[in-house]
Amino acid sequence: MIGLINVQFAVKDGVVYVLEVNPRGSRTIPFVSKAIGVPLASVAARCMVGETLADIGFTTEIVPPYHSVKEAVFPFSKFREFDPLLGPEMRSTGEVMGIASTFARAFAKAQLAADNALPLSGAIFITVNDGDKPTVIPIARRFHEMGFTLYSTEGTSRYLEQHGIPATAVRKVHEGRPHGVDLMLNGDVQLLINTPLGKHAQYDDYVLRQTAISKRISYTTTMSAASAACDAILSLRAQPPTVRSLQEWHRLLRGER
């Protein structure tokens, strides 16, 4: 085949599965085109009508001197009945792009553009499943060292305390008030880190995520995103985000000033 294909993968227990392969361009194509300054759809079309990559002059990998982060935009704020916990189905209604000299700053810009702006101070509510507790320790420790107040449900709080990280225990929703939702409704939480176990998460987790969306509180549902958010906040504290046009980034890519 000559041209573009869209491949969807799934990875489980270290095994890569191919879900489907379609002879078309995905939404990633315009993103990568903007990131490297090459119109990939045009290049593919020219190849399909007989030209070679050598004819077009596109035979060398382009590695930009900056980072580009793509973030999906979801309609959860308008359709509150949907749980923002992600799965394999397509839910995004668009995408945004953050470009910066470092990954952390690019991630921060992407979150801002996706209406999930990260806080520079305040309090973080952490509630993670047992499998993620070892992973959350270095993340929670960094947030504590950055001066954030940590709240968590009893199980997570106990685990954090055992590892020398102070966290105030808060009741789960079904255990009575005050609970985590109350903290968010009162404006006492600026970031939610919540990783439930499995597709059929408990009601408590669902209500926490729905409240975060309704109160426009930044949230993450994976440990990788929580770690990236920590890096991004540190970067934003060091220097506020700046704006460059895409054309300026491409001039930097070409080595122009």
Residue 216 has a pLDDT of 87
- Quickly tell me which residue has 């095994």 as its tokens: 15
Residue 232 has a pLDDT of 96
What is the chain's pLDDT, residue by residue, as a tens digit (257 residues)?
Answer: 788 998 988 898 999 999 989 888 888 899 999 999 999 999 999 999 999 999 999 999 999 999 999 988 765 555 455 555 555 555 556 789 999 999 999 999 999 998 889 999 999 999 888 889 999 999 999 999 999 999 998 889 999 999 999 999 988 877 767 788 888 999 999 999 988 765 444 667 778 888 888 888 998 989 999 999 999 999 999 998 889 999 999 998 887 65
**According to DSSP H, which parts of the chain are helical?**
28-36, 40-48, 53-56, 103-113, 133-145, 154-162, 180-185, 203-214, 223-238, 246-253
Q: How far apart are CA 82 and CA 76, in angstroms?
A: 6
Residue 200 has a pLDDT of 43
Residue 90 has a pLDDT of 54
- Contact between 223 and 195 under an 8 Å Cβ cutoff? The reply is yes
Q: Does the CA dihedral 52-54-58-59 come out positive or negative?
A: positive
Q: Whole-prediction pTM value?
A: 0.84
Q: Count the Cβ atoms, other than its own, within 10 Å of residue 255.
A: 7
Task: Give the domain ranges of the chain.
Answer: 6-63, 68-238
- Quickly tell me which residue has 């998460």 as its tokens: 201
Q: How far apart are CA 32 and CA 184, in angstroms?
A: 37
Residues with Cβ within 8 Å of 140's Cβ and at least 6 positions away in sequence, in order, are: 126, 150, 160, 165, 167
CA distances from 211 to 58, 81, 135, 201, 207 (A): 48, 12, 25, 15, 6
Residues with Cβ within 8 Å of 188's Cβ and at least 6 positions away in sequence, in order, are: 123, 151
Q: What is the DSSP letter of 184?
A: H
Distance between first and last Cα of the chain: 40
Q: In the CATH scheme, what is the homologous superfamily, with its name and number, of domain 68-238?
A: Methylglyoxal synthase-like domain (3.40.50.1380)
Q: How far apart are CA 110 and CA 116, in angstroms?
A: 9
